[in-house]
Structure 1
């Protein structure tokens, strides 16, 4: 049985001139312990789809779906109290731009301890001890010292590790990682990806990796969904996707990788579909 199931998800945003569909008829599922990558260029609706699952879209968004269930629980129609027992505990999310995601007014220790006290019911003393354990687990040096630091006093890579520690604090069954290596240098990117995969394997979590980087997909995923302009273009296991992509848009993405370049310029979507783009 799938852990998360979504059928015919549509997300529309109200605008001054009407509405705009950022996600249109998306189907997806993820099994326990599976790594699913959602890949596509900016604006393809990857993050919006998962923010809809988390219930974190603004009031201007209208979310509809034939089904959105987590372990048999209906995420669309549950009460706020029921949702709070799942979101942030059994389903957690690592957001883009870790420095912007952390509150600059509080130490990183306070922010993870707050999660532990609210979600796990730990005392202040136990939360502090557990926070140091989590910082150690995600590779933050001198965790007992860094716990007193503010986000601006830490590097981008360290802030991302703090976000990962917060996300795994409640031992979630599903972790959503939204562009977890954005704005990090190449060496730190590799460290963060290795850490996520190690934690996924150690804790037996399902992992949804949102990315535009096909290299990240190749390194991490069991299965891949390719999105473009809010639509699902293709779904395949990772080996099939790279060896024999079935959709022209997927072939365009793979052909645009620098290592696949055959001429003096990288191809664009219009090279595969004409000037009108994907239909």
Structure 2
């Protein structure tokens, strides 16, 4: 049984110009100990899909699906209080902008303590020790001193490590990483990716990696879902995707990689005309 199984997820928003369908009948699944990459350019519905699964979209969003099953339960139909007990504990998310995602008014130690207080039975001293342990696990120096630091007193890379510590605080079964290295320099990006992969392997979690970076996909993923304009265009294991892409959009993505340049100018997605129908090949 899949850890998370999504069937025909659709997300719509009401706008001044009418209804915007940000996610269009997307189906995907991820298993225990598996890394699934969701890849596509900005605006393809990657983050919105996972925010819908987490229940973190505004109430004005219309979310429908045949089913969104996590650990055998259809979480879209759970009462809000019961869903909140799952989100943050068994299913956790690392967001794109670590500095913006942390509350500037509270110390990072307090913010992790709140997560532990909500989802565990640890007492105050045990929660403090657990927070220090988490900071050490994600490579924050002087872990005990960091408990009293505010987000603005830390670098982007350090804030991202705090976000990872918060996400893994309750040993989730599924970790969703939404562009976890976007705002970081190249050296820190490598450190964060290595950290995520090592934590995922050590704890045996399922992980969904949302990215537009095909290099990240090649290095971290077992299986890949390609999205464009809210649709799933292709799904394949990572080796098959790179060696034998099926959809025209995936081929265009790969052709835009610098290492695949064949002339003086790289192809761009502006030059690409999407096929009318998405790829519907059988899942490997």
Report the TM-score when normalising by structure 2. 0.95
Aligned partners of 2:140 and 2:275: how far apart in 1?
A: 44
CA-atom RMSD, angstroms? Answer: 1.0
52-61 or 263-272, which moves further after superposition? 263-272
Post-superposition Cα deviations, 1:95-148, rounded to whole Å, max 9, x if no partner, equal 011000000001101111111111112211111111000000000001011111
Match of 2:192? 192
Matched, 1:223 2:235: no
Shift of 1:16: 2.1
Aligned partners of 1:260 and 1:209: how far apart in 2?
A: 23
Match of 2:143? 143
Match of 2:65? 65
Aligned partners of 1:183 and 1:197: how far apart in 2?
A: 19
Aligned partners of 2:157 and 2:195: how far apart in 1?
A: 12
Match of 2:167? 167
Matches within 5 A, 1:20-59: 20-59=20-59
Shift of 1:260: 1.0
Match of 2:132? 132
Post-superposition Cα deviations, 1:245-278, rounded to whole Å, max 9, x if no partner, equal 11110011011011111111110235453xxx44
Match of 2:155? 155
SS at match of 1:85: helix
SS at match of 1:149: coil
Match of 1:19? 19
Aligned partners of 1:234 and 1:148: how far apart in 2?
A: 46
**Structure 2 unaligned regions, length at least 5:** 277-284
Aligned partners of 1:228 and 1:185: how far apart in 2?
A: 27
113-122 or 54-63, which moves further after superposition? 113-122
Aligned partners of 2:272 and 2:103: how far apart in 1?
A: 44
Match of 2:112? 112
Post-superposition Cα deviations, 1:50-94, rounded to whole Å, max 9, x if no partner, equal 000000001221000011110111111111122122111100000
Q: What is the count of residue pairs matched by the alignment?
A: 276
Shift of 1:199: 0.3
**Structure 1 unaligned regions, length at least 5:** none
